[in-house]
């Protein structure tokens, strides 16, 4: 779905969300400047504050098995080596918080941050989004779905009352932020009062948990679900969807704000000149309809996510 189908989401707050960060949700950390108003950190003007590492560290959002994705991304990273003239190393991360902290600490240079983590990475770690995966026709995005298993006794969202519901992590849009707002706004359902929230850590954990009947219900990103079915990690009939949201932007790719401008341009060039045909990247992501990198800006394409954060009372303290 293109951007016109994304913007316009309005959700009611369910109360303050404890994220491990607190403060203004739109405010960049005091370390950063944003003189051009694009909502991301400016590159330092002082060359001594710019970074030009001999090895670029790349991390993909921790949605599924890192070992699988190291192989999926290998061809792309070799392409980035050729374009940038740098060695590029894949860094497997186990949580969104660890990925954000790695960039914040200067140990991560190029990354794909998931939908909900993008604002945290931008505000607290100096992440600059510039690309998103899209289909050949330029459409992109995924849906949040609430899933259960056959015979769970849950046929509609209201049936979750009195039961456990799995979320992924509090930084995840589809795994926590969006479903929390929707459950409150559309169903007057609040965690602890109406159901017991549990956290699985990752989308694949939630999906496997439902498929194996460990969780009666879960909120997940359907792009992850589709890829797991395509790889035969689970069977299609093990999981049933009882709710499907509007379309949200998917993983945003970018770099640390303080890389040298010439290196930033080479990293962009690597993304937009990569040949997907015959690649492991296409084999994996075409399962969810993604076959190219599309240029984007955080200010425009993450507007809907910032609205969800505001509705949920989400705010960040980057200390």
pLDDT single digits (tens) 138-160: 999 889 999 999 999 999 999 99
- Per-residue pLDDT, 11: 32
Percent of the chain residues topping a pLDDT of 70: 90
Average pLDDT over residues 207-223: 96
Domains parsed from the chain with CATH numbers: 3-30+48-139+249-311 (3.40.190.10), 142-248 (3.40.190.10)
- Per-residue pLDDT, 195: 97
Average pLDDT over residues 188-207: 95
- State the pLDDT confidence band at 63, using cuts at 50, 70 and 90: low
pLDDT single digits (tens) 105-133: 999 999 999 998 999 999 999 999 999 99
- Per-residue pLDDT, 309: 84
Q: How far apart are CA 222 and CA 14, in angstroms?
A: 23
pLDDT single digits (tens) 235-285: 999 999 999 998 889 999 999 999 999 999 999 999 999 999 999 999 999
- Per-residue pLDDT, 64: 61
Closest-CA residue to 63 (of 83, 93, 22, 26): 93
- pLDDT surpassing 80 at residue 26: no
- pLDDT surpassing 90 at residue 37: yes
Q: Pick the residue with more confidence: 319 or 301?
A: 301
């Amino acid at each position: 779905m293109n951007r016109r189908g994304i913007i316009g989401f309005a959700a009611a707050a369910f109360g303050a969300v404890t994220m491990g960060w607190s403060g203004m949700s739109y405010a960049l950390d005091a370390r950063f400047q944003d003189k051009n108003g694009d909502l991301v950190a400016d590159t330092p003007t002082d060359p001594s504050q710019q970074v030009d590492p001999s090895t670029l560290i790349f991390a993909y959002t921790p949605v599924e098995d890192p070992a699988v994705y190291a192989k999926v991304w290998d061809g792309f990273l070799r392409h980035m080596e050729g374009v940038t003239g740098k060695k590029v190393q894949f860094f497997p991360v186990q949580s969104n918080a660890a990925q954000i902290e790695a960039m914040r600490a200067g140990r991560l240079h190029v990354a794909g941050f998931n939908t909900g983590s993008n604002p945290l990475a931008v505000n607290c770690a100096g992440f600059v989004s510039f690309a998103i995966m899209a289909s050949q026709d330029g459409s992109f995005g995924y849906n949040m779905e609430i899933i259960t298993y056959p015979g769970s006794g849950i046929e509609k969202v209201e049936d979750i009352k009195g039961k456990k519901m799995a979320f992924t992590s509090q930084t995840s849009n589809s795994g926590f932020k969006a479903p929390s707002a929707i459950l409150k706004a559309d169903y007057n359902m609040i965690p602890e009062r109406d159901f017991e929230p549990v956290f699985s850590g990752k989308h694949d954990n939630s999906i496997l948990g439902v498929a194996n009947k460990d969780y009666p219900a879960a909120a997940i990103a359907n792009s992850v679900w589709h890829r797991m079915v395509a790889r035969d990690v689970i069977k299609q009939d093990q999981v049933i969807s009882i709710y499907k949201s509007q379309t949200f932007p998917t993983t945003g790719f970018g770099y640390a704000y303080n890389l040298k401008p010439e290196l930033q341009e080479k990293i962009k060039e690597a993304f937009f000149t990569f040949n997907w045909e015959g690649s492991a990247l296409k084999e994996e992501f075409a399962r969810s309809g993604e076959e190219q990198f599309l240029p984007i800006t955080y200010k425009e394409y993450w507007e809907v996510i910032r609205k969800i954060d505001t509705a949920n009372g989400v705010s960040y303290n980057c200390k």
